[in-house]
Structure 1
Amino acid sequence: MFSGQLFVFFCVFVLGSVVGSFLNVCIYRIPLGQSIVYPASHCFKCITPLRWYHNIPIVSFVLLHGRCAFCDEPFSWRYPAVEALNGFLYCLVFHYARFSAVSLVLFLFVSILVVVAFIDIDHQIIPDVITLPGIVIGFICSFALPWVSWVDSLLGVLIGGGSLFCVAFLYELLAKKEGMGGGDIKLLAMIGAFCGWRVILPVVFLSSLLGTMVGVPLMWARKRDSGMALPFGPFLVFGTLIYLFWGDILVQWYLSFFYI
């Protein structure tokens, strides 16, 4: 019985890592305005198309020692990392939702979040081509999710996007400079579309806490001032994933401080 469960989770991890290989393509090409379908995967130095056995997630990277099979150009460790991360997230989704329509929706959602996070890390942008369709898809998926109605989803879009818009507007008004991009606003609106309006406050709180914990030491280490640009998208993504999988545990832990 236990070995059977391990095999199922292994298959889910493989599925996630295969999708993660495609996510690497999206992360690289979408900010450049390139097609995510054509041309096929190739080495960026010698432009030689990779064979199918050079594209086996994680395994090919290990067997080829992280280098191109044709010109020996080193590949970034990010490729297997994204594949493994997406596989791990798929296993978490399957642990909570098993075989259901909910799993399919959450597979899509977490993969979108992975793409958004890494693009924002690399380019400090969150492309509208991801978040705007994501808002629509999240609203449509609300009809298949048990914890969010279409009303909750719509309110999530309005409250999620509206709350960050107000924060960004007030910051720009007081500081006389832009502190939060429109991509973050649309990202939180998309998160609200998938998860409903009730997650907005906890996600913003977790994201801000994580941003502070990472940003302050980073600025101190780099001896930079408080105006150092730090993409907020990855923290929104991380905060969403934490709340998505462990939100109930965190709420119970927080409420335990008030029990007599």
Structure 2
Amino acid sequence: MDIFFYVVVFVFGLAVGSFLNVVIWRWPRKESIIQPGSHCPKCGSPIAWYDNIPVLSFILLKGKCRHCKEKISFRYPLIELLAGLLSVLAFWLFGFSRWYFIYYAFLASLFAASIIDIEHRLIPDEISVGGMVVGIGLSFLPERRIPVFDSLLGAIAGFLILFIVAELYYLITRREGMGLGDAKLLAMIGAFLGLRSLPLVIFAGSMLGTIIGIFFLFLSKEGRFYKIPFGPFLSVGSLVYLVISTGNIRVQLGAFNWILGI
């Protein structure tokens, strides 16, 4: 029976991933995610429902548009598969409950924000500011996981921390470092996960960012001036915090919970 539910949530995640592909493509271009319907970006032909089945349609069409035969980027099925895996992870952490849907929506939003940040070096306010409002609103639920005050402090502190870091960096170097998009995203994370999550989220994100930064320092022609999007690293830090602060993993960490802020 457990396997059945995992398959169901994986398929549900694939469908969410298909929607995320629309969000990732359209929001940075200031396009509606509702109208027009799915269409080929090359020839503009509408995509029929049977050609829009997550992953399967890509395989059956051999990665090409049915009408103009333009190649379909492999990123589309990849995003769908990763969204499916995130759904499975959320189900493993929270079971079939309201928290599965809430935190899967949170993870899916971070995932979309990360891809957009990588491709466009921006994070849409629809995700960050909208997500922050939703996160604070959820703290008012009767069976809330994060108290209202903790959610509010998390949002405020999350924004201020990166805002101050960005301002100090500019004062010292006269170059823009982090944008306000990163600060808004951390505000959203703080609203969902609470104030205590921020140290681990920032630490994990910074460590991963440093490793990737060193990699690009040597391989990129821009060297130390290469602009690395920080949103994906904050998202990974949030995922790390969410995993280790939930269920059996938290119990096994024992005394380290206080150090990690969980």
- Indicate the TM-score class for this superposition, using the shorter chain for normalisation: over 0.9
Mapped pair 1:120 → 2:117: yes
Give, as a single letter, the amino acid of the residue that structure 2 aligns with 1:70.
H
Cα deviation code 1:146-189 (max 9, x no counterpart) = 43111110010111111111111111111111111000000000
For structure 2, the residue ranges without an aligned partner over 5 or more in a row are: none
The alpha-carbon deviation at position 254 of structure 1 amounts to: 9.0
Greater alpha carbon shift after TM alignment, 47-56 vs 142-151: 142-151
Give, as a single letter, the amino acid of the residue that structure 2 aligns with 1:240.
S
Determine the C-alpha separation between the residues in 2 that align with 1:72 and 1:238: 36
Mapped pair 1:25 → 2:22: yes
* Number of residues of Structure 1 aligned to a counterpart in Structure 2: 254
Mapped pair 1:183 → 2:184: no
Partner of 2:162: 164
Map 1:89-108 → 2, pairs under 5 A: 89-108=86-105
Greater alpha carbon shift after TM alignment, 194-203 vs 128-137: 128-137
Q: 2:207 aligns with which of 209, 228, 231?
A: 209
Partner of 1:111: 108
Determine the C-alpha separation between the residues in 2 that align with 1:234 and 1:183: 12
SS of residue paired to 1:226: helix
Map 1:1-260 → 2, pairs under 5 A: 4-144=1-141, 146-247=144-245, 249=249, 252=253, 255=256
Determine the C-alpha separation between the residues in 2 that align with 1:253 and 1:228: 40
Give, as a single letter, the amino acid of the residue that structure 2 aligns with 1:215.
G
Determine the C-alpha separation between the residues in 1 that align with 2:170 and 2:255: 33
Determine the C-alpha separation between the residues in 1 that align with 2:209 and 2:68: 40
Greater alpha carbon shift after TM alignment, 237-246 vs 120-129: 237-246
For structure 1, the residue ranges without an aligned partner over 5 or more in a row are: none
Which ranges of 4 or more aligned residues in structure 1 deviate by more than 4 Å? Answer: 247-251
SS of residue paired to 2:223: coil
TM-score by length of 1: 0.92
Percent of aligned pairs sharing the same letter? 44
Determine the C-alpha separation between the residues in 1 that align with 2:182 and 2:61: 37
Determine the C-alpha separation between the residues in 1 that align with 2:239 and 2:134: 18
The alpha-carbon deviation at position 247 of structure 1 amounts to: 4.5
Cα deviation code 1:185-229 (max 9, x no counterpart) = 000000000110011110000001001111111221224321211
TM-score by length of 2: 0.92
> How big is the alpha-carbon RMSD for the aligned residues of Structure 1 and Structure 2?
1.9
Greater alpha carbon shift after TM alignment, 223-232 vs 50-59: 223-232
Give, as a single letter, the amino acid of the residue that structure 1 aligns with 2:122.
I
SS of residue paired to 1:125: coil
